[in-house]
Amino acid sequence: MTLLHVPVIDISPYRKGTPEGKAAVAEQIGQACRDIGFLVVSGHGIPEELIRKTYDVSKEFFNLPHGEKVKADRPAPDQVRGYSAVGGEGLSYSLDEPTPPDIKESLSIGPVDVPPNDQYFTSEEAGPHFAKNIWPAKPAELKPVWTAYFQAVDDLATDLMRLFALALNLDEHYFDGTIDKNISMMRVLQYPKQTTAPLPGQLRAGAHSDYGSMTILRKELSDNSLQVKNKAGQWVSVPVIEGSFIVNIGDLMQQWTNDTWTSTVHRVVNPPLDSEENKDRMSIVFFHQPNYDALVECLPSCETPGNPAKYQPISSGDHLRSKFVKQTTFGKGV
C-alpha cells in the first residue's frame, strides 16, 4: 500500500548494530523513500542540548541589526556561504517556475575543518565547494556551536546513507566512498513574522525539490508550515515530533535510484496574518551532498532490461552548482 502521509521511523535498532534491527529499519526507510520521499527520524542519538544551543546562538545572530548581519553576506551566487537577506532567493526558480522571492533570511556554512594544503580541496575542480566559510563576528559562540552541530548531523547522514544502501539491496557501505569528502551545507532559516499580506504566489519557501542525496531538518514544535505533495497530488503537512528530525531524499538520490525513490516537491506556507502561528520561526537544515566528484549514475540494483537507466551520469558538484545558481539569480537573466 502506498504511503500518503509522512511516517515516523525509530532508527535506534539500526544503531544497536544487530542484523535484525538493521534489516527492519532499512525496510521501513525503503518504503518511505519509494512512496513519499519524506520520513521523520527518531532514535538518532544527537543530544538535545546541542540542538538547543544551536537554536539559541542562531536566534542571537538573526536578532542583530541588519547592518551587522550583512557583514557576513554571501560573496557569490555559486558559493553556499554566508548571509542572505529576506527576498534574496526564490526556490521555485530551481524548477524553472517563477514566483515572487521567498519570505525568509538565512545563514549558511559549508564543510568545516577543511585541510588547507590538500589539492582535492583547493584545486580548480573543487571550485566553490570548499570555499572558506563566512563566519559572523557576533555572536562569538556561533562558530563552535555550529561546527559541533554540523559534525553531529554529518554522522547521522552517514548512518542514513548506509540504511539507504541496505534498503536498495546493496552492501551497507556502498556509498561510503562517495560521501567521505562531502560538500554538504548547513543552513539556518529565519522566517519573520509577516506584517503585510504576501504577494500572489509568494510563500515562506516556494515549492521545490531538494538537490542532493538527502536533507535533514529540525523544526520548532507546533510549526506545521512544511507541506509535501504526495503521489495523490495532495499537499499534506509534515509532522513535527519532539526529539526528531525530518528527512527527505533529494534529486541526486532519485537519479541514483532511477526514479525508484521520490525526491518530493515541498513548500513552506504562510501563516494567516491574524493567527498565533504568525510569528518568527526558525529551522535548522542540513543539505547532505556527496563528494563533488562523485559520479551519480544508475545503481546496479535499480536497472533492469525493462527499466533501463533514465538519466545521464552527472557529478554531484556540477548538479549542485547548476541548481543553486538558478535559485539565487532569479530575475537576473540567468
In the chain, the number of structural domains is: 1
Residue 334 lies in a domain: no
Q: How confident is the model over 256-313, as pLDDT tens digits?
A: 999 999 898 999 998 888 888 888 899 999 999 999 999 999 999 999 888 899 999 9
Q: How confident is the model over 18-32, as pLDDT tens digits?
A: 999 999 999 999 999
Q: What pLDDT, on the 0 to 100 scale, is given for residue 88?
A: 57
Q: State the Cα–Cα distance between residues 242 and 264, nearest whole angstrom.
A: 23
User: What CATH number did the domain enclosing 133 receive?
Assistant: 2.60.120.330
Kindly indicate the confidence band of residue 199, based on its pLDDT and cuts at 50, 70 and 90. confident
Q: State the Cα–Cα distance between residues 108 and 186, nearest whole angstrom.
A: 6
| Amino acid identity at 214 | M
Kind plus residue range of the DSSP H or E element containing 245: strand 245-249
Residue 1 lies in a domain: no
Burial 85-97 (b: 16+ CB within 10 A, else e): eeebbbbbbbeee
Kind plus residue range of the DSSP H or E element containing 157: helix 142-167
CA torsion angle 235 238 239 241 (round to 10): -170
Task: Cite the beta strand spans of 91-195 per DSSP E.
Answer: 105-109, 185-191
Q: How confident is the model over 187-197, as pLDDT tens digits?
A: 999 998 888 88
Q: How confident is the model over 203-217, as pLDDT tens digits?
A: 888 888 898 999 999
Q: What percent of the chain has pLDDT over 70?
A: 91
Residue 45 lies in a domain: yes
pLDDT at 94 over 50: no
Range of the domain at 259: 8-328
Q: Give the phi and the psi of residue 147 in degrees, each rounded to 5.
A: -60, -45
Residue 148 lies in a domain: yes
Using the structure block, give the residue that is written with the C-alpha cell 539565487: 328
Q: What is the mean pLDDT of residues 104-112?
A: 94
Kind plus residue range of the DSSP H or E element containing 287: strand 281-288
Q: How confident is the model over 215-267, as pLDDT tens digits?
A: 999 999 888 889 998 888 889 889 899 999 999 999 999 999 999 998 989 99
Residue 2 lies in a domain: no
Q: What pLDDT, on the 0 to 100 scale, is given for residue 324?
A: 57
pLDDT at 322 over 80: no
pTM for this predicted structure = 0.91
Specify the DSSP class assigned to residue 137: S
